[in-house]
């Protein structure tokens, strides 16, 4: 029983970390849409994207696949302003 309780704690801890990072990535994405030359924000976005990938890989290794934001890095300036957008292709 202790093993399943510990696994539950790890599961929820990883999910919470992923949700927190996803929230910040969405906010940074919105910010960068209007401030595409903010190099500090782009660096923060890319750093969090890397951290998110590592957490997602750990989660998926133990608990299965995920679908979410933060899957790509951005160059400078912020590249999501370039058309066509992925959903337009």
Please, how many CA atoms are within 13 Å of residue 71, restricted to the half-sphere of its CB? Answer: 5
The pair of structure tokens assigned to 54 is: 């590592």
pTM above 0.75, yes or no: no
End-to-end CA distance of the chain: 50
The pair of structure tokens assigned to 17 is: 């970390």
**pLDDT tens digits, 33-53:** 999 999 999 999 999 999 999
Structure confidence at residue 89 as a pLDDT band (50, 70, 90): very low
H or E element, residue 46: helix 39-63
């Amino acid at each position: 029983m202790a093993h399943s309780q510990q696994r539950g704690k790890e599961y929820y801890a990883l999910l919470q970390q992923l949700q927190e990072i996803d929230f910040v990535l969405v906010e940074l994405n919105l910010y960068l849409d209007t401030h595409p030359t903010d190099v500090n924000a782009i660096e923060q976005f890319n750093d969090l994207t890397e951290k998110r990938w590592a957490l997602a890989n750990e989660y998926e290794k133990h608990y299965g696949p995920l679908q979410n934001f933060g899957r790509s890095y951005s160059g400078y300036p912020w590249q999501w302003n370039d058309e066509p957008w992925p959903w337009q292709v």
